[in-house]
Chains A and B, each alone.
Chain A
Amino acid sequence: MAGVTRPGEARRDHVAGWSVPLGILLVGTALLVVHNFSVAQLGDRRAAATSAAEKVAVDISTIGGDNAEQRLQSLSDESTSEFRRNLDQNSTTFARILREGRVSARANVTGAGVEHLDGRAASVLVAVSVMVVNSQRPTGELMKIRLRIRLEDERGRWLAAGVEAVP
């Protein structure tokens, strides 16, 4: 009979009427939870990137003929495969130059700030104060250097992908 709704149909209408708005609300809430979680992680990711860049800066600046291999190995262990290849190609020559020039450098990070950060990569500026002793300056010379360190996130670890001195 027209105008009469059977119990089964009423139940279907009831569920269908609620399911669409509830589904939209549920998906929207889930998306916002994910978004807000990633925003909340931003501070931690920034701190981790800064810390990784400071370590790279110290490894590359606190170096001398007597510890070059260990320092470069430490840096290599915290580098992306491409940057590691680059380091490995030059480490022997670099260590020899340091030994021959009786170079010894001790670095102190005076400041670090994140220039760029996204889901996969970061670049961090690091200000370093380095005391350099070599055969020509046996008493040492204090140098201030500016570094820009590129990092890549590999499975939650920030690895060095490049180091450049900002002239």
Chain B
Amino acid sequence: MTAGGLAPRARRPFPSRPALRTSAIALTVCSALLGWQAVSAAAAQRDTEAALAAARERVGEVLSYRAHTLDADQARGRRATTGEFTREFDRMSTTVVEPTARAQGTVTSATVVRVGLINARPDQVESLLFVDQTTTTAASPAPQVSAAQLRVTMRKVNGVWLIAGLVPL
């Protein structure tokens, strides 16, 4: 009993335990969501970089060939492509590249000198490539260098970035 005859009221700690628990849960959920978002963004960034690296490598494969190893070179180039572009690659190979290369003894080597990102989506990346192509023929053995700028679409197929489009600009 107190002097006034009333029992002492138990002082509840402030902030109360349920309020703190709720805050902790809310913050944990927010952190988890934001963390997941950050991890996804980092993965997307890595994916874009992988697509650009693949564009650099695969465009070189598609545009380089030698008359005396043409079949193997075209098979390698074909493996670097996907979708409708594979059919376009086949058509260009049989109607333009093959007859010309065999007739002229063409050896051509493409080097990507610069790569820029146009836009990126989860499974498709568009890029701008500056390419130098060095060509010799039996009649003209001195290397001729030509500069090209290409818009290249890369598509991820079964985890591998392949060329889905290539447009000279």
Contact = CB atoms under 8 A, between A and B. Distances in A.
B122 interface: no
Contacts of B118: 111-113
B19 to A, nearest CB: 10
Given A25-B27, A32-B31, A113-B127, A46 B114 contact: no
Contacts of B151: 111
Contacts of A144: 147, 149, 169
Contacts of A148: 114
A7 B31 contact: no
Interface in A67-89: none
A146 B150 CA distance: 11
Nearest to A38: B41
A156 interface: no
B114 A22 contact: no
B116 A125 contact: yes
B35 A146 contact: no
A21 B27 CA distance: 10
A39 interface: yes
Contacts, number: 89
Q: Which label, helix, strand, loop or mixed, suits the secondary structure of the B interface?
A: mixed
A146 B27 contact: no
Nearest to A35: B38
Interface in B132-169: 147, 149, 151, 169
Contacts of B27: 22, 25-26, 29
A160 interface: no
B11 A7 contact: yes
B37 interface: yes
Interface string A129-159: 1000000000000001010100000000000
Interface in B53-68: none
A113 B31 contact: no
A29 B117 contact: no
A167 interface: yes
A18 B15 CA distance: 10
A127 B35 contact: no
B5 interface: no
A118 interface: no
B17 A14 contact: yes
A124 interface: yes
Contact of A36 (B17, B38, B115, B127): B38
Interface of A: 7, 10-11, 14-15, 18, 21-22, 25-26, 28-29, 32-33, 35-36, 39, 46, 110-115, 124-125, 127, 129, 144, 146, 148, 166-167
19 contacts: A11-B14, A14-B17, A15-B13, A18-B15, A18-B24, A22-B20, A22-B24, A22-B27, A25-B27, A32-B31, A36-B34, A111-B118, A111-B128, A112-B118, A113-B117, A113-B126, A125-B115, A144-B169, A166-B147
Interface of B: 11, 13-15, 17, 20, 23-24, 27-28, 30-31, 34-35, 37-38, 41, 113-118, 126-128, 130, 147, 149, 151, 169
Closest 9 CB pairs of A and B: A113-B116, A113-B128, A32-B34, A125-B116, A127-B149, A25-B27, A110-B169, A39-B41, A14-B13
